[in-house]
Amino acid sequence: MNTRLNYKHLRYFFEVARTGGVQAAADRLHVSAQAVSAQIRALEDQAGIALFDRQGRALVLTPAGRVALQYAERIFTLGDELSTALSDHPGELTMPLKVGVTDSIPKILAARLLLPLIQESPDRELVVHEGPLDDLLERLTVGKLRCILTDREPAALPAVSLESERVLRSPMQFVCTPAVRDQLTGAFPACLHRAPMVLWESSSNLTSGLYAWFRRQRVSPRIVARCVDSAFLKQLAAADLGVAPVPQHIVEETAAQLDLHALGDPIDVEVAVWMVQLGKQGGSRISVPQLSPS
């Protein structure tokens, strides 16, 4: 195999894979369908492996083709970003650090974890994308993100090497407003029985751990709302809707910002945050210090 990649061949392959057909790709590239087919054949000959299965008039990516598409997306995404950066910031160009943060991670925790990265390179622009883990992983695999902070360690992905490092462990602690606390009866944790409670969605691993803890304590809170976003969860609790669980790391800030105060001691249910990066093919590693309780 010739290891020198022809990027024109790769661009033609990329457009065929994206559009789903030779003619559609040819229209986008303003060339003939025959020229596109010839470039695809040349790339397959160079690689020594088929990238498409030809099923009638349709082209379907082979396993090798799917891997090639992932690399092509990363290559051309970075190329487009470089073109934009060169035109927007001539003479003062720095590589931005693009990080994904899942919705369920408290923003205070995410900020604490990311702060050392900013302090390490103050001239580098930090770009933070929030969203569901699956969406962020898709962006990571095509080079649109350098790393992800998530409260759920992702499963292995086909043809993609991921490295996960746990950067935070924090016990959970319940918080509520003084008005809600005045409505509760008894000492902690018995006061949680039938207490209004704001939780994450039921599919969350953390919610499953809390349910198990409720059973051990023989309490059954009354769930009044479920959230995906941790900030919205705290806002609902601050509106006197009910008790909410938060990581012990942010109890002091939660009290200062939202008048949500600790209800009882931390419990034996932990939240964890992982930093997820691409494996060896993903370039230099990013590291953040382990957080200690505030």
Which of 268, 235, 213, 209 shows the shortest CA–CA distance to 107?
235
Are residues 135 and 277 both part of a single domain?
A: yes
Examine the domain organization and report whether 158 and 278 are in the same domain: yes
Q: What is the pLDDT of residue 1?
A: 46
Write down the pTM of the prediction.
0.64
The three-class DSSP label of residue 34 is helix
Q: Mean pLDDT across the stretch 221-246?
A: 93
My answer on whether 190 and 262 are in the same domain is yes
Q: What is the mean pLDDT of the chain?
A: 85
Place of tokens 């992982």: 274
Interacting residues of 116 by C-beta distance below 8 A, sequence separation 6+: 288, 289
pLDDT at 269 over 50: yes
| CATH of residue 102 | 3.40.190.10
Q: ∠25-30-35 over CA atoms, to 5°?
A: 70
d(CA 235, CA 244): 10
Dihedral angle computed from the Cα positions of residues 176, 179, 183 and 184, in that order, rounded to the nearest 10 degrees: 30
Confidence of residue 54 (pLDDT cuts 50, 70, 90): confident
Among the three residues 63, 88, 113, which one is the final residue of a domain in this structure? 88
Q: Which two tokens stand for residue 149?
A: 């902070």
Partners of 165 in the beta sheet?
Answer: 275
Strand partners, 130: 101
Question: How much is the pLDDT for 182?
Answer: 96
Given a cut of 50, whether residue 294 has pLDDT beyond it is no
- For residue 66, the SS3 value is helix
- Are 262 and 173 within one domain? yes
User: Does 131 map to a domain?
Assistant: yes
Mean pLDDT, to the nearest integer, of 54-60? Answer: 77
Asked if 179 and 257 sit in the same domain, the reply is: yes
Among the ranges 59-68, 85-94, 128-137, 209-218, which has the highest mean pLDDT value?
209-218
Question: Could you tell me if residue 294 is inside a domain?
Answer: no
Q: Does residue 287 lie within any of the structural domains?
A: no
**Structural domains counted in the chain:** 3
With respect to residue 120, please indicate whether it lies within any of the assigned structural domains. Answer: yes
> Are 147 and 277 within one domain?
yes
Q: What is the mean pLDDT of residues 254-270?
A: 94
At 88-127, the pLDDT tens digits run 655 555 667 889 999 888 888 888 888 887 777 777 778 8
Average pLDDT (172-194) is: 96
Strands (E), 62-123: 97-102
Tell me if 1 is assigned to some domain.
Answer: no
Half-sphere exposure of 186 (CA within 13 A, CB side): 9
Angle at 84 between CA 83 and CA 87, to 5 degrees: 85
The answer to whether residue 101 is domain-embedded is yes
Q: Please indicate, yes or no, whether residues 216 and 262 belong to a single structural domain of this protein.
A: yes
CA 47/CA 263 separation, integer angstroms: 62
Name, of 51-55, 153-157, 193-197, the range with top average pLDDT.
193-197
Q: What is the pLDDT of residue 88?
A: 60
Q: Determine phi and psi for 199, rounding to 5 degrees.
A: -130, 175
Q: Which residue has the higher pLDDT, 77 or 240?
A: 240
> Which are the contacts of 224, defined by CB distance < 8 A and separation ≥ 6?
196, 197, 198, 241, 242
The answer to whether 144 and 98 have CB atoms below 8 angstroms apart is yes
pLDDT > 70 in the chain, percent: 88
Name 281's Cβ contacts closer than 8 Å, sequence gap at least 6. 161
Looking at the structure, tell me whether residues 178 and 253 fall in a common domain. yes
Q: Which residue has the tokens 């606390």?
A: 181
Domain that holds residue 235: 169-270
Please indicate, yes or no, whether residues 44 and 132 belong to a single structural domain of this protein: no
215, pLDDT greater than 50? yes
Examine the pLDDT at 227 and tell me if it is beyond 60: yes
Mark which of 26, 57, 88 sits at the end of a domain.
88
- The CATH number given to whatever domain includes residue 13 is 1.10.10.10
Q: For residues 53 and 65, give the distance between their C-alpha atoms in angstroms, rounded to a whole number.
A: 9
SS3 of residue 105 by DSSP = coil
More confidently predicted of 8 and 221: 221
Is 277 among the domain residues?
yes
- Is 25 contained in some domain? yes
User: Which of 23, 58, 88 is at the close of a domain?
Assistant: 88
Read off the pLDDT of each residue in 130-155 and give the average, rounded to a whole number: 88
User: Do 108 and 151 have their domain in common?
Assistant: yes
- Range scoring the smallest mean pLDDT among 131-140, 188-197, 209-218, 279-288: 279-288
Domain match, 262 and 201 both: yes
Strand partners, 200: 227
pLDDT at 271 over 80: yes
- Judge if 41 and 57 occupy the same domain: yes
